[in-house]
Amino acid sequence: MLTAIRTIIARFPERSLVIRSGSDTRYLVLKTWHQLSVIGAAALIFIWSTVASIGFSWNYDARLVVESELAMIVAENQAFIAQLEADQKNAYELRQSYNAEIRKNEEWASRFNAIRNASNVVLEQSSPETIIAFIPWFQTQLKTRILEVEQSNADLTRLVLNMSDSVAEISGRKAPESLDAVGSWLSTVAADLSNAYETQTEAMEVLHDTMTRALSKGFAIIDGTPIAAPEFAGFSPSFGTGGPIRGTSEEEHVFEKFQDRSDRLMTLSQDLQALQSLLACAPLSSPVDYYNLTSKFGNRKDPFTKRPAWHAGVDLAAWPGTRVKTTAPGVVTFAGRKGGFGRLVVIDHGCGIETAYGHLRRIYVKRGDSLAHRESLGEVGSTGRSTGPHVHYEVRIKGKAVDPYQFIEAGRYVYKEQEFTVADAK
């Protein structure tokens, strides 16, 4: 064995390889074991390739059989998977159809219950609980209700025709003879009513303007006097702004507009009545036709003490014996002597307004007498606390003295035939 190995080693002695590159020379030494390693590696590769080729040749036919069987199995599996997917799809569709049928049945059951409950409410009686019994029962009830509706329609037709007769009496147009003609007939009547409404609207607007002018003119008489205050007069002079009945909304119904105009006219009418009553109570004239204003209303120097004193009226000097007249209609509440006023007459004109006439020489009236406007009540004198012939004239509103000259000035626009001589008070 060792001999064989030595023989093999002897065949591969150490060799040198000379490698030249240009002028350079290199030596590569191949030792014995290097050569044996290369030859061994080559032998192993050759042996492995030979064995592998022989094995591949032996197993090729078996591999072909296995691959064929594997292909058949894959094909069968793919067919099975496709069938399984189809079965799953069919099962899903069947499930969906089943659910749809369930929902449909539930919906029909719900509708049936709703119809049954509605029938119970409308007919006020219990209906059968099953569909088989409910259908013939419902048909019978439906026929009964149809007959009742037909009877109601006949009654309604008679009612419409009777109402048409009533409308015909109001409008003056002949009533329609059939129900089919009622619609067009009512349209014609509505047109007539619309024209009448427009005419009434115009008339109401004219009346509104007329009443507004009358109120404005009447209020101008007392404007500037204490009785023009809204809390006393009971109304506001805003009626003079003009045109309130035209300011209606387009969305309002025609009857709402008409009612609004009527309400506004009623308010103006009430204000006009209140103003007329107030003017009837207002002392809008002078108690004497010719006079000198010798003492104004308010603080003054007392003619006797020469000290400041409050004067609750005005002093109107006139010839002795001049007739003193009422400044508005009223009832005498006092007639006689009263302290410094001398002979005094007090008249209640209503509306909370009183007038007083002092220092009279003679009195023509007595308590309780009803006096007309400009009726004589006495004569100018100098009785009581007086320095000369004059009439002490007061106006009291709800017991409080106010300046009478405001009313005398306001009355000048009403009684233009009166002539006044006015001298400044000293």
Condensed to tens digits (0 to 9), the pLDDT of residues 322-379 reads 999 999 999 999 999 999 999 999 999 998 999 999 999 999 999 999 999 999 999 9
Whether the CB-CB separation of 296 and 385 falls below 8 Å is answered with no
Residue appearing with tokens 């109120």: 215
How big is the chain, counted in residues? 426
**DSSP for residue 14:** -
Tell me what pLDDT residue 260 has: 74
Binned at pLDDT 50, 70 and 90, residue 118 comes out as low
Helices and strands of the chain, counted as H and E runs: 7, 14
What pLDDT is attached to residue 288? 95
> Does pLDDT of 392 surpass 60?
yes
Least confident of 156-170, 195-209, 252-266: 156-170
Quick one: pLDDT at residue 170?
59
Among the ranges 9-13, 17-21, 308-312, which has the highest mean pLDDT value? Answer: 308-312
H/E run at residue 221? helix 182-222
Whether pLDDT at 153 is above 70: no
CA distance 215 to 239: 7
Does the pLDDT value for residue 8 go beyond 60?
yes
Residue of 362, 372, 364, 214 lying closest to 285 (CA atoms): 372
Local confidence band at 129 (pLDDT 50, 70, 90 cut-offs)? low
Q: What is the predicted pLDDT for the residue at 325?
A: 96
Distance between CA 279 and CA 233 in Å, rounded?
10
- pLDDT bin (cut points 50, 70, 90) of residue 162 is low
Q: For the chain, how far is it from start to end, CA to CA, in angstroms? A: 179
User: What per-residue confidence (pLDDT) applies to 4?
Assistant: 73
Nearest-angstrom CA–CA distance, 17 and 104: 100
The whole-number pLDDT of residue 420 equals 40
Question: What predicted TM-score, i.e. pTM, was given to this entire model?
Answer: 0.50
The span from the CA of 168 to the CA of 406, in Å, is 60
Q: Is 19 left (phi over 0), alpha (psi -120 to 50) or beta?
A: beta
Determine the pLDDT at residue 338: 94
How much is the average pLDDT of 413-419?
51
Residue 287 confidence (pLDDT) above 50 = yes
285 in Cβ contact with 347 (< 8 Å): no
CA distances, 96 to each of 89, 90, 101 (Å) = 10, 10, 9
Residue 110 has pLDDT above 70, yes or no: yes
Residue 216 pLDDT = 75
Banded model confidence at residue 271, pLDDT cuts 50, 70, 90: confident
Q: Which tokens sit at 255?
A: 């009857």
- Do residues 420 and 290 touch, judged by C-beta distance below 8 A? yes
Res. 424 pLDDT band, cuts 50 70 90: very low
Confidence of residue 136 (pLDDT cuts 50, 70, 90): confident
Higher pLDDT, 394 or 242: 394
What pLDDT does 274 receive? 76
